[in-house]
Structure 1
Amino acid sequence: MEQQVSLSGSTINERSQSLLETGLGSNCIFIVGESKVYFSAIKGFLIRVSPVFERMFYGELRETEPTEVPDIEPDVFNTMLRFIYGCDWSFKSNAKAVELCYAAHKYMIHDLLQRCVEHLWPTTISDVWTALEVGNLYSLPELRDAAMKIINENSSAVLESSDILHISQDCLTDILRGNALEIPNEMDVFKMCYKWALTQCEQKGLAVDGPTLRNELGEALNHIRFLVMGSKEFVDDVITTGILTTEESLDILCFLVMEGRYCLSSKLCTSREKRIPDDGFERLPYL
């Protein structure tokens, strides 16, 4: 005889939670994470919030069931289901909020994604790194811009923060591009980038030499403003790292020594504008 299942609770929230926990009415199964935890759900609830689930279950290219989800941890998937079902839920940590953001982005659950953005919204320097990474990774310009605003207003502290040494290359490039940093001495920017590249090499177990450091910097190197440096500091602190080629070093050095009366052939950053202009005029916002 088939066991009877009934819902408990008197409020919508309580009965929704019971509905999720008992699996009553479920008509699809997910196998989640490396530990392969099984979850059952009601398709109608899922497609109500996600066009991705709609295509999965009723589109022309519908997937075979049960559906395997190896890229999301079971506790994060459970939190996503609790949101979909209308149960009580909360962010366990910023790290879990980032994982939940990934799930919301993957399944295009807009309302959940917005809740993640609100939770990760930066208010201090320590908040900006996660906000910037998530904003860039999931194309959330409002989150990215909020982080950039704090970076712009606290440039010196940002440059001295040890956390900046662990951000992605894309985020480093984003910070260097335009006028996000208000730093009077470009050499300070270069030294931070050099430390960042050293950190990447150490974390990856790579040999520390000029070409490797350059490879780690990638596109970020093209946004360091070598042309506003002094010739002596360029020789002492940049050329000695081996990050630039001999041709690039000589090209830039000739430009600096001749005070701009030299035609550059280098493809590196050609900007001659300091990140904090000396003319007293208000700077344009970062791009």
Structure 2
Amino acid sequence: MKIIRHQNIIAYVCEKSLDSEVLQMEKEELKRTGDWSSDLLHLYESFSMYDCTFRVGISATTSKIFKCHKLILAVASKVFETMFHGNFAEANKGPDDEIKIDDTEPMAFDAAMRFVYGRRVDFVNDLIAAQVYKFANMWQIQNLMDAADLYLKEPSPGNVAFVYEIFKQAGNQKGLGRCMEVMSANIKEVLSSSHWQNASLDLIMDVLSQGDLNVDSECDLLEGLYRWGEANTKDRIGKPSDAMVREAIKKPLEKIRFLSMEHQEFAAFCSKNKNNIFTAEEKWNIIMSISIKSAENLPENFSSEMQPRVNVKKAVWLDLLTFHSGYRGFGYPVHPSFIDFSVNKNIHFFGLKFMSFAHFDCNFMPDSQFEITNEGERIWEGTTKDYDVKLQYYKAKKPPLLKEGVRYQLSVKHSFASLPDQTFFHQSFSEWSISKESLTVTLHNRNSSAAVGFLIIG
């Protein structure tokens, strides 16, 4: 783990946010209000009756002095109790003999003490709360850990990578799950954060192992991995060489899903970065593999996964309960029904979901084939055999990329329908737009089937 690489950021926050005079103020007379928590907090703030001194800080230039009370710390923490009342040198130190804590920043220690003494939750931000959590875990102060964990229920995208590292050190599986949800939904912000470049290899591997990352393209992850590699090469002076970057990203590169890219995207990445982390032969083989959607010629150990990263939780489910039409003579199939639509940004099509249909004693039980076409060219096809029991919709095995402004047609061909003889009914769309989270899907003047209950895109 490389938590120590984040400490320059934490130190800066502490230097700007924590008034040193508060920590090194002159001893005051103890004020008694009758409120136990308030009085203990003032005991800490006033330095009254202190019997131990801590010098806290990862850097000697930003370290601060704290005056505390052995009994209160021993009550809060079994570790402090053992240190002060066991066979350790700290047990024999005088009130002004310094005890060094060099793995915690002063502001985090101060926030921890304010909770221990007065049950005050003064964590300020995610970075400090994560440091407090780390301190509480190390010194086994469970209620402080719980308070910091609650504060970090949903860390900000810019800080979530740092919080994830702290939780991983402490083995907080629930916290890791929460952090990964934030990273998955906000991966673009995570990739641009300073904590991403300072992240450990473990975090990089964990993120790139996820299937539901909210990216427009796999190239976003490749770009992020390249930047991480530049910042994490070994034994370099100045700008790292491409060979160094390739060596740094060797393991996580195996998680990049090249086959989910468009070959133009990969070519643009190579051109933009003007890098040679791939040999000419590798570039050619990757582009050819993308073009024919085959992993046969990919470099050794590269991923053969074709599925784009998708975040179904963030998908837009468009309710298309519109119409079914057909003439039923026993044994005759119903004609295909279809809908034309376009989207206002590049987006993946995940699949579709049927709805039950009943109208005037008409029951519809589809056994169907589906396809999406663009000017007659099929870009996706599926059948009812593609039903995902866990996700409960018909899943596109290779979700196609729907491009902004292009007109597509979704068709559903029904094998049979159970309808009364000579029954015909329908409803039609008329330039109907549905908007959600800046996405607009325009449904053009075409017919659609009640069999298509939801169009799932995201």
Q: Given the two structures, how large is their TM-score scaled by the length of structure 2?
A: 0.49
Q: Which amino acid aligns with 1:185?
A: S
Q: 1:194 aligns with which of 226, 229, 232?
A: 226
Give the whole-Å Cα distance in 2 for the aligned partners of 1:187 and 1:38. Answer: 48
Give the equivalent residue in structure 1 for 2:36.
12
Give the whole-Å Cα distance in 1 for the aligned partners of 2:389 and 2:162. Answer: 27
Secondary structure in 2 matching 1:29: strand
Q: 1:39 aligns with which of 66, 71, 81?
A: 66
CA drift of 1:90 comes to 1.7
CA drift of 1:12 comes to 1.0
CA drift of 1:224 comes to 0.9
Distance change (3 Å), C-alpha of 1:264 and 1:161: closer
2:127 is the alignment partner of 1:103:
no
Give the whole-Å Cα distance in 1 for the aligned partners of 2:162 and 2:288. Answer: 41
Distance change (3 Å), C-alpha of 1:230 and 1:283: farther
Note if contact 1:128-1:151 (Cα within 8 Å) is conserved in structure 2.
Answer: yes
2:75 is the alignment partner of 1:48:
yes
Alpha-carbon deviations, 1:156-203, whole Å to 9, x = none?
Answer: xx32677346413333432211213144632333234335545778xx
Q: Which amino acid aligns with 2:172?
A: L
Note if contact 1:7-1:15 (Cα within 8 Å) is conserved in structure 2.
Answer: yes
Q: Which amino acid aligns with 1:159?
A: K
Secondary structure in 2 matching 1:90: coil
2:260 is the alignment partner of 1:228:
yes
Secondary structure in 2 matching 1:169: coil
Give the whole-Å Cα distance in 2 for the aligned partners of 1:231 and 1:29. Answer: 63
Note if contact 1:251-1:266 (Cα within 8 Å) is conserved in structure 2.
Answer: no
Q: Which amino acid aligns with 2:66?
A: F
Give the equivalent residue in structure 1 for 2:302.
268
2:109 is the alignment partner of 1:85:
no
Give the whole-Å Cα distance in 1 for the aligned partners of 2:83 and 2:194. Answer: 40
Note if contact 1:121-1:127 (Cα within 8 Å) is conserved in structure 2.
Answer: no
Residue pairs, 1:229-268, within 5 angstroms: 229-231=261-263, 233-234=265-266, 237-238=269-270, 241-245=275-279, 249=283, 252=286, 255-256=289-290, 259-260=293-294, 262=296, 266-268=300-302
Note if contact 2:266-2:287 (Cα within 8 Å) is conserved in structure 1.
Answer: yes
Give the whole-Å Cα distance in 1 for the aligned partners of 2:41 and 2:220. Answer: 54
Give the whole-Å Cα distance in 2 for the aligned partners of 1:135 and 1:47. Answer: 25
Q: Which amino acid aligns with 1:15?
A: D
> What is the aligned residue count?
274
Structure 1: 5+ residue stretches without partners: none
Greater Cα radius of gyration, structure 1 or 2: 2
Give the equivalent residue in structure 1 for 2:146.
114
Q: 1:135 aligns with which of 155, 161, 167?
A: 167
Q: Which amino acid aligns with 2:307?
A: E
Secondary structure in 2 matching 1:91: coil
Note if contact 1:49-1:109 (Cα within 8 Å) is conserved in structure 2.
Answer: yes
Secondary structure in 1 matching 2:278: coil
Q: Given the two structures, how large is their TM-score scaled by the length of structure 1?
A: 0.72
Q: Which amino acid aligns with 2:79?
A: V
CA drift of 1:244 comes to 3.2
More helix by share: 1
Note if contact 1:255-1:261 (Cα within 8 Å) is conserved in structure 2.
Answer: yes
Secondary structure in 1 matching 2:100: strand
CA drift of 1:115 comes to 1.5
Structure 2: 5+ residue stretches without partners: 1-28, 311-347, 352-386, 392-458
Secondary structure in 2 matching 1:68: strand
Give the whole-Å Cα distance in 1 for the aligned partners of 2:113 and 2:231. Answer: 38
Distance change (3 Å), C-alpha of 1:159 and 1:83: closer
Give the whole-Å Cα distance in 1 for the aligned partners of 2:74 and 2:287. Answer: 61
Give the whole-Å Cα distance in 2 for the aligned partners of 1:258 and 1:266. Answer: 18
**Coordinate RMSD, CA, aligned:** 3.9
CA drift of 1:23 comes to 3.7
2:192 is the alignment partner of 1:163:
yes
Give the whole-Å Cα distance in 1 for the aligned partners of 2:295 and 2:193. Answer: 36
Give the whole-Å Cα distance in 1 for the aligned partners of 2:162 and 2:72. Answer: 31
Moved more, 141-150 or 26-35: 26-35
Give the whole-Å Cα distance in 2 for the aligned partners of 1:248 and 1:12. Answer: 69
Give the whole-Å Cα distance in 2 for the aligned partners of 1:87 and 1:124. Answer: 24
Secondary structure in 1 matching 2:34: coil
CA drift of 1:266 comes to 0.8
Secondary structure in 2 matching 1:178: coil
